[in-house]
Amino acid sequence: MALKENQALTPEKKQILIDEIQRELFLISSAVKEKKYNEGAYLILQKTKDDLQATLNKVLAKKGIITPSETSKALQQIDDAKRARLEKDFVFGIRKGTFFILSVAIIGVASYFVIKNKNK
């Protein structure tokens, strides 16, 4: 069952929301442990992780029905966390690709000048 915004969840169905939050927390924790981000990205991901953890704690503490507004807020925080994590992955990928392309270009230019000077 996919969760939808503005959906009330019974205590039995609350586990679906908990699983979604825990999955995103795991992905963010894994990304932070890899230490491939700069300090600013790390702080953003850490804040996102803290917000998600607070939401998870609220959901776990809730004994009755989870209201539609609470479900929507939790799903919005999950989406924000995914967006932040994917943006950081995208930026990291772009930087890594740019570094690779520049490295190849520098090696190519250096090789050209070495070969050109060798033939003189």
Long-range CB contacts for residues 100-104, cutoff 8 Å, separation at least 24? none
- Identify whether 105 is part of a domain: no
- Identify whether 94 is part of a domain: no
- Write out the residue range of the structural domain in which residue 67 sits: 14-88
- Identify whether 2 is part of a domain: no
Q: What is the pTM of this model?
A: 0.70
56-101 pLDDT tens trace: 898 888 888 888 888 888 888 888 888 888 888 788 788 889 999 9
List C-alpha distances in Å: 13 to 18, 36, 78: 9, 36, 17
The total of structural domains in the chain comes to 1
Distance between CA 83 and CA 67 in Å, rounded?
24
CB burial class (10 A; 0-12, 13-18, 19+) of residue 50? exposed
25-50 pLDDT tens trace: 998 888 878 767 777 777 888 888 89
Structure tokens at 101: 């392309």
- Identify whether 117 is part of a domain: no
